[in-house]
Amino acid sequence: MNKPIRTLSLFTLLLFVALLVNVTVLQYVQADELNADDRNRRVVVAAFSRERGAILAGRDPIAESVPSDDEFDFQRTYPEPLRYAHTTGYFSYYSQTALERSQNEVLSGDDSRLFVTRLADLLTQADPQGGNVQTTLVRDAQVAAYDGLRALGEDTQGAVVALEPGTGKVLAMVSSPSFDPNRLASHDLGAVTQAYEELEAREDQPLLNRAIQTTLPPGSTFKLVTAAAALEEGLYELGDQVPGGDTYQLPLTSGPTGLLDNGGRSCGSETVSFTQAVANSCNTTFLAMADELGVEALQDQAEAFGFNAEYLDALPAQAESRFPGDLDQAQTALAGIGQSDVAATPLQMAMVAAGIANDGVVMKPYLVDEVTSPDLDVLERTEPTELSRATSPATAEALTEMMVATVSSGTATPAQIPGVDVAGKTGTAQSTPERPPYAWFVSFAPADDPQVAVAVLVESTDVARDEIAGGALGGPIAKAVMEAVVNR
């Protein structure tokens, strides 16, 4: 072989080796990274054309793919878009949110547990199909929660969360205002961009899931945490008299700016029974109680219920509920009534109610009951797991008794259900002088055999400012959700 041919052969061999190395790196080293890259339009187009699995509430699909007659083979649709938008999320050409995002591997059919299904599809030359996601949502509870918020007016901003206390199953999760995910899943990509920009520009933030992404002062619903700490620390017992009175001067203050009252509710002259203090939501009681407990005991109790942590795996971007440990004496007292720098999501306050309902044991909330193959073979079923033991059973029983009194004769009477003992607590949290307060309500039922715990937040509504109260706005919604679960 002469020198020019030998040189050309070596050069060709080098090019061949370089090609092999490049292919190997792309297919076996960088494949996952490239497939996950949002800029990889080939992957996006392939996923957008595939028959994606369904998301189910009971037996009803709340997200499914149907055949399409345009450039893509299937169209993602949401049969009841407004009721379930914040839990299903949306599957668009550009992105995914909520369950569409967290369960994408199963829904798209890329999950490794669907390997046999993909292999069978390859051999039979059938189009690949995604698996299904069965949620824990109960349709009637979801409808009651959504309709309840809507009944307060189209401009209502708020959220409802219902949990099964013994397992942590999310039975209902609604955020208002809602949006139509069908507009964001359209194959008209120009219309999708326009719809997304419209939603993003709205001041009422319809894309925000207020159930898990909004943290606000929980107001008097937090008094349950303060009462739990007082019982756990042995500071007071159920039958005790506790501090009462008409007014309370915050520590480190003097004069009217640090003087708080009970809004006209009956809270004794100097002391009041513990039950009456909870039933009438006495500020003076829980301000003094929080000061007696101190910030460390309150923070420990709040964190035992889930504050300062994340716990819901199925929905991305969960906000942490907050109880700071660096409060001064006046701020600590205010924290005892859910003010100061304390902030909670509706999911967090539902967990407080559910923990009390479950003998003090807080279960980790979950939204996905099971995932199945396209042939409905179960690939994974979620087992309930304990998140923490927030209180002893005795403390939970004492709190339940006081919450039942709050519904039967206190501030939470709008949640009464004939023939069923209901436990509840109201909350009206102050915000800024420029805007109305927030209305909260937490409850569970039946009190002696809890099947559902509910938290309602009304952040903003058309109701007149002096008519905003947790019992008046949140009580009827919580009642409807509890009835939907108890009567199913």
Report how far Cα 60 is from the mean position of its chain's Cα atoms: 21
Biggest alpha carbon distance in the chain?
113
308: left (phi over 0), alpha (psi -120 to 50) or beta: left
Residues 483, 485, 488: CA angle, nearest 5 degrees: 100
Helices (H), strands (E): how many in the chain?
Answer: 19, 17
Q: Evaluate whether 284 touches 261 at the Cβ level (below 8 Å).
A: yes
DSSP assignment of 160-182 equals EEEE-TTT-BEEEEEEES---HH
Q: Which two tokens stand for residue 37?
A: 């890259």
Q: State the angle between helix axes of 346-357 and 295-305 in degrees (0 to 180), rounded to the nearest 10.
A: 90
For strand 132-135 and strand 55-57, is the pairing parallel, antiparallel, or unpaired?
Answer: parallel
Contacts of 321 by beta carbon, 8 Å cutoff, 6+ apart: 215, 306, 307, 308, 343, 344, 345, 348
Contacts of 176 by beta carbon, 8 Å cutoff, 6+ apart: 146, 149, 150, 156, 157, 158, 159, 210
Residue 267 phi/psi, 5° resolution? -135, 30
Q: Evaluate whether 482 touches 192 at the Cβ level (below 8 Å).
A: no
Q: Which residue numbers are catalytic?
A: 220
Report how far Cα 83 is from the mean position of its chain's Cα atoms: 15
| CA 476 – CA 484 distance, rounded (Å) | 12
Beta strands in 262-332 (DSSP E): 271-273
Q: Which two tokens stand for residue 190?
A: 């120009």
